[in-house]
Amino acid sequence: MKWVENTIQNIKDTKTLVSLEDIRLSIFGKKGLITNEFIKLKELDGESKKERAKQINTSKQMLESALLEAKEKLTNLELEQKMNNEKIDTSLFKGNLSQTYGHPINITFDKIIDYFIGANFTISYGPLVEDDFHSFEALNLPKFHPARDMQDTFYFNDGMLLRPHTSPVQIRTMENKNLPIKIISPGAVFRRDYDITHSPMFHQVEGLVVDNGNGISFANLKHILEDFLKYMFGDIKIRFRSSFFPFTEPSAEVDISCIFCKGKGCRVCKNTGWLEVLGCGVVNNNVFNAVGLKDVSGYAFGLGVERFAMLLYEVNDLRSFFETDLRLLEQF
Ligand code: PHE
């Protein structure tokens, strides 16, 4: 079969995966050359049919291995080309030196912090490597609580851990006993999680307001969070859904009406019309007891910065925030 040799040569000469696929179809497709050979086989019989069938099968195998080899070669080549094209030479002078980009996470942090500074909060930071007492015990998270599970929290051999939330800063702030307390605490937190909405390191902003007496109530919390969320997301509806956190009682999760479909129901809000954006509540008395504060009242809240940034900038894979891809960052 003369065409077989020619076709094998064509396969070897092909420059792209697309044209390779065209050749494959011209051989093995419905009207392909090999398919045709098999059809023509029906016209023969006896010894000559057997002989011919053997020939076709040998050719078929030769063509298949030539295709496979070419596919491998071209795949590697295209990958190599792609890597070369996307390589960033950081030493290259790019012209416009004054152009800088904010990272979407930092921009979101700044916007959140701006609001709370405007509302007279101060900023506190806490250690990323924490102990059990500040991360769990003092926050009324008993020994058997699932949040302590090795599945969720990164532990070191000496019993220390990477904080899985910013709430330990609540405890460290209250330990100082300088009332009134009115802080937010931005920072990184760590959990054993990795998919399109989770990353092992992400960021939270914690809020804590505490003062003597029983003057600080859920109403204060509700007021400031509603004002804050309107500042962040504009004209939205807000609802408080009763929930549970060991360190607050009562507790709530706060939803905003979906900013993409305006509450009608879409893929992002899973057709509920609502998006969950933060957790909050009135500080549980057990927490005050753990730090030795008496006759005080307060509220606390915590939010995920990546979650806010994903909503504000319509980024649908959280992991892309950490890939330092200039094509994403240049949009900010
Ligand atoms: N620490 C909680 C979390 O990580 C959030 C939270 C903070 C809830 C403060 C209530 C009060 O999910």
107-121 pLDDT, tens per residue? 999 999 999 999 999
Mapped onto helix, strand or coil, the DSSP state of residue 164 is coil
Nearest CA to ligand 1 atom 10: 280
Q: What's the gap in Å between 281 CA and the centre of ligand 1?
A: 9
d(CA 267, CA 261): 9
Looking at residues 43-70, what average pLDDT do you find? 93
Over the stretch 136-155, which tens digit does the pLDDT of each residue have?
Answer: 999 999 888 877 876 689 99
Helix (H) or strand (E) holding 130: strand 129-130
Helix (H) or strand (E) holding 81: helix 46-86
Give, as one character, the DSSP assignment of residue 139.
G
The pLDDT value recorded for residue 291 is: 97
8 Å CB contact between 300 and 247? yes
Looking at residues 41-55, what average pLDDT do you find? 91
d(CA 25, CA 18): 11
CATH of 104-329 among 3.30.420.40, 3.30.465.10, 3.30.930.10, 3.40.47.10: 3.30.930.10
Q: What's the gap in Å between 177 CA and the centre of ligand 1?
A: 21
| Terminal Cα distance for the chain, rounded | 61
- Token readout for 68 is 């496979």
Q: Which atom of ligand 1 is nearest to the CA of 165?
A: 4
* pLDDT band of 134, cuts 50, 70, 90: very high
Q: Which atom of ligand 1 is nearest to the CA of 189?
A: 4
Q: Which atom of ligand 1 is nearest to the CA of 251?
A: 10
The pLDDT value recorded for residue 240 is: 98
Helix (H) or strand (E) holding 162: strand 161-162
The pLDDT value recorded for residue 277 is: 96
Q: What's the gap in Å between 300 CA and the centre of ligand 1?
A: 8
d(CA 264, CA 247): 34
The pLDDT value recorded for residue 303 is: 98
- Min mean pLDDT across 92-101, 180-189, 208-217 is at 92-101
* pLDDT band of 332, cuts 50, 70, 90: confident
Pocket of ligand 1 (CB under 6 A): 165, 167, 206, 245, 248, 279-281, 300-302
Pocket perturbation via mutation, ligand 1, pick of 170, 247, 276 by most ligand atoms within 8 A of CB: 247
Mapped onto helix, strand or coil, the DSSP state of residue 93 is coil
The pLDDT value recorded for residue 316 is: 82
- Residue identified by tokens 């099968």 is 57
Give, as one character, the DSSP assignment of residue 175.
H
8 Å CB contact between 246 and 269? no
- Flag whether pLDDT at 176 surpasses 80: yes
DSSP string, 275-301: EEEEEEEEEPHHHHHHHT--SEEEEEE
